[in-house]
Amino acid sequence: MSTFICTTCGTQFAETDQPPVECKICTDERQYVGWQGQQWTTLEALRQSHRNVVRLEELGLYGIGMEPSFAIGQRALLVTHPDGNILWDCIPLLDDGLIEMLKGIGGISAIAISHPHFYASMVEWAHIFDCPIYLHAADRQWVMRPLSFGMARPRRSVTA
């Protein structure tokens, strides 16, 4: 079973044997499906073909992205603070080097997502850092991989 990731928008879906037939986010009238049709990858495949990039934007603020660019080129922002670090938005890739670096500067205390194009692999991030995800209640329909799906032990639920 795999958690497939849409290559157009970067959203990770719940664990299945086969890729979903379509991406609900991309088939919405405000998005698109590419000329090649619906395509999928996995986090494992992304780890082989892409890498995380961290840039200091200003003191206490880091931009986290991927190279080469993937999906819609999402960038997350990490706000560091002595009381806990906050990840604003999410990207599809989370690799061992980034995990080690983030844990070295205090981990992530919470994830806040601005809108569905940044849901990406938010469940992976929340699982690794054992932190809650905060989403707007109006966007719950766009959560393609619920936080509790496939977890070995109960985790904090997605919060409005």
Compare 1 and 130 and report the one with higher pLDDT.
Answer: 130
End-to-end Cα distance, the chain: 29
Report yes or no: 122 and 13 within 8 Å, Cβ to Cβ. no
Report yes or no: 19 and 12 within 8 Å, Cβ to Cβ. no
Q: Give the integer Cα–Cα distance in Å for 68 and 143.
A: 25
Q: Looking at this protein, which amino acid is placed at residue 24?
A: K
Please tell me what DSSP assigns to residue 114. Answer: S
pLDDT in tens, 2-40: 899 999 989 998 899 999 999 888 887 877 787 888 899
Angle (CA) 80-112-115 rounded to 5° is 135
Confidence grade of residue 156 (pLDDT, cut at 50, 70, 90) = very low
Q: State the average pLDDT over residues 50-72.
A: 96
Report yes or no: 66 and 91 within 8 Å, Cβ to Cβ. yes
Helix segments in 26-112, DSSP class H? 43-49, 96-104
Predicted confidence (pLDDT) at residue 157 exceeds the cutoff of 50: no
Compare 154 and 130 and report the one with higher pLDDT.
Answer: 130
pLDDT for the residue 66: 96
Taking CA atoms, 63 is separated from 76, 77, 149, in Å, by 6, 5, 28
- DSSP H or E segment with residue 133: strand 133-134
pLDDT in tens, 93-102: 999 999 999 9
Q: State the average pLDDT over residues 70-82.
A: 95
pLDDT in tens, 108-153: 999 998 887 778 889 899 999 999 999 877 777 777 777 663 333 3
- DSSP H or E segment with residue 87: strand 86-88
